[in-house]
Chain A
Amino acid sequence: MSKLKLDKVTLEFFPRTGAPVLALDDVSLDVSDQEFAVIVGPSGCGKSSLLRLVAGLVEPTRGRITLDGTPVTRPGKDRGMVFQSYTLFPWLNVRDNVEFGLRIGGVPAEKRRHISDHFIKEVGLEGFESAYPKQLSGGMMQRVALARALANDPEVLLMDEPFGALDSQTRSLMQELLLEIWEHSQKTVLFITHDIDEAILLGDRVHVMTARPGRIKERVEIDLKRPRHVDLLTSPEFIALKRRIMGLIHDEAVRAMG
């Protein structure tokens, strides 16, 4: 039974001047409960638009998106999101950032504190509760953003290249952290990236997208056993999967350039 379902979703942009742009063309996608789904594609393929559609921040031109059978029409806290850009509220400290969704949802202070304690610990930021975002590194800010999304207990966690702006060492650490958190929270995740290693390391299933207009080109099952760690990157099974996905992406990247 699918948790999140995209049914023939098409997205067109209508710029003020010039012809309409077809960003996503007839995209269908199923994500089952507790699945870690990854969408990988060349830049400009509309994968971020796809995530914004699921978040309800953009409306599809045609097609239907449902979560647990209910159509998505607007943003809501059942679909938490982590962006690539740093989106912490600069005027709130770490704890208040994590508690933001709970506070506007009317959760009482004591319960809020309990929840924020849990997720701040989960992302390894104990001792930084009263730090302001400007005092944090990029990796730490993304950990707070993750804790903030999880504190709201969403049905689906949407992640739009969340580690894209981080250096490669921090990125690996964040991937391991996310794997660890996911393995014991068992959230349904829809994760966007252009990094093939990241896609294979994290995902149960990798959906490869075509260059604009974005379509799902192929679905690759990642049957690597869990728990997974970064050292998996050098294993033969991993490399075989990587070769396959690289081939798919390469054709698209070439097409996008031409």
Chain B
Amino acid sequence: MLRSTFDAYAAPKKEIPRSVYLTVSAAVGVSLLLLWCVLSYGGFVRSDFLPTPIEVLQAGIDGIEDGSLAVNTAASVGEIMSGFIIASILAVPLGILMGSFKIAEAAIEPVTNFIRYLPVSALIPLLILWVGIGIEEKVTVIFIGTLFQQLILVADVSRNVSSDLLDVSYTLGANRRTVVTRVLIPATLPGVVDTLRVTLGWAWTYLVIAEFVAANKGLGYFILNSERGLFTDRIFLGIAVIGLLGLITDQLFKFLRDWLLPWATEG
């Protein structure tokens, strides 16, 4: 009996009962937490290297009370949203053009491919020289880091729209303009939302790097500053907040996709 159950779970690509799925997920989560408790409370690792869960929680409460958490979170969220939104506004239409019109592809793609392979972190010193170390620098880093990745991904999305779908529209009496506005663009929407979802995750990486290099507020600054004072609990807190924000925005995009595009098949 046990053997046959185990056998069923070991089959590749087969569904398993939901309860088993959840139990396994929860068990791994609890085990990791337990391991953390054992290592920290048990004194296996020095407390200035690994804080206890309660210390991190306490740091969180302190951060909320003295307002430092809110200030730094707001700064990071503001920077990331500015850079990300400006990049998206440019990348979505340009990407659709690039994937659908060869002439646009010829104009944009070679440049994009060149810049895309430059790690944006390599540009930070130059950007500091050009735009300073204020919020503009972070926004620019996120903008550049995100834009060129989005362009390539959105172009692929629009390239993958079935040409039969466009052709059938022509045979139904549509002209080029109608085909673009009423067929091509709607057909790219699910892929565009997925692209935004993925690239927003990457934008967090660029932000933290930008804040490590030069900043006087933000979550990256918060983490770096805590390291200088060996406040490991605050480092953990900063990381946890970034993780949590990432999770929230990701779920938000998932919700947005289900809500705005109920017709779309799973990406």
Give residues 33-69 of B contacting A (CB, 8 Å): none
11 pairs from A and B in contact (CB 8 Å cutoff): A55-B170, A76-B173, A77-B171, A79-B171, A81-B167, A90-B263, A91-B187, A101-B173, A104-B178, A149-B171, A158-B171
Interface presence of A46 (CB below 8 A): no
Q: What's the minimum C-beta distance from B160 to chain A, rounded to whole angstroms?
A: 13
Q: With A104-B173, A152-B173 as given contacts, are A132 and B262 in contact (CB-CB < 8 Å)?
A: yes
For A89-113 the 0/1 string (1 means CB < 8 A from B) is 1111100000011001100000000
Contact A80–B172 (Cβ < 8 Å): yes
Contact present for A89 and B171 (CB under 8 Å): no
Q: Which of A55, A76, A89, A105 contacts B167 (CB 8 A)?
A: A55
A-contact bits for B159-172, CB 8 A (1 contact / 0 none):
00010110111111
**Contact pick for A57, options B167, B182, B261, CB 8 Å:** B167
How many A-B residue pairs have C-beta atoms within 8 angstroms? Tell me: 74
Number of chain A residues whose Cβ lies closer than 8 Å to a Cβ of chain B: 31
A149→B262 CA distance, assembly (Å): 25
Whether A105 pairs with B171 at a CB distance below 8 angstroms is no
The reply on B242 being an interface residue by CB < 8 A is no
Which chain A residues border B167 with CB–CB below 8 Å? 52, 55, 57, 75, 81, 83, 87
Query: Within residues 145 to 198 of chain B, which ones have a CB less than 8 A from any CB in chain A?
Result: 162, 164-165, 167-174, 178, 182-183, 186-187, 189
8 Å CB contact of A81 from B168, B186, B189: B168
Given contacts A74-B170, A89-B165, A104-B172, could you give 6 more A-B pairs where the C-beta distance is less than 8 Å? A57-B167, A77-B173, A85-B162, A89-B183, A90-B187, A101-B174
Interface residues, chain B, with chain A CB atoms under 8 Å away = 162, 164-165, 167-174, 178, 182-183, 186-187, 189, 261-265
Q: Write out, one digit per residue, whether chain A residues 161-201 have a CB within 8 A of any chain B CB (1) or not (0).
A: 00000000000000000000000000000000000000000
Q: Using Cβ atoms and an 8 Å threshold, which residues of chain B touch A60?
A: none
Give the shortest distance, in Å, between B166 (CB) and chain A (any CB): 9
Q: Could you tell me the distance between the alpha carbons of A148 and B169 in the complex, rounded to whole angstroms?
A: 11
A133 interfacial contact with B, CB 8 Å: yes
**Distance in Å from the Cβ of A131 to the closest Cβ of chain B?**
10
Q: B266 to chain A: closest CB distance in Å?
A: 9
Q: Is there an interface contact between A133 and B263, defined as CB atoms closer than 8 Å?
A: yes
A90-B172 contact given A83-B164, A104-B178, A104-B182, CB 8 Å threshold: no
Taking beta carbons and an 8 Å cutoff, which residues of A are in contact with B?
52, 55-57, 74-77, 79-81, 83, 85, 87, 89-93, 100-101, 104-105, 132-134, 145, 148-149, 152, 158
Q: How far is the CA of A135 from the CA of B154 in the complex (A)?
A: 26
Decide: A57 near B172, CB < 8 A? Known: A87-B162, A134-B265: no
**Complex formed: what's the CA distance from A104 to B174 in Å?**
7
A87 close to B168 (CB less than 8 A): yes
Query: In the complex, what's the smallest C-beta–C-beta distance from A79 to chain B, in angstroms?
Result: 6
Would B189 and A85 count as touching, CB distance under 8 A? no
Residues on A with C-beta less than 8 A from B165 are 87, 89
A83 to B262, CA, bound (A): 25
Specify which of B162, B171, B174, B263 lies most central, judged by the most chain A CB atoms within 10 Å of its CB: B171
* Contact across chains for B173 and A83 when beta carbons are under 8 A apart: no
Tell me the complex Cα distance, A133–B263, Å: 8
Q: What's the minimum C-beta distance from A105 to chain B, rounded to whole angstroms?
A: 5
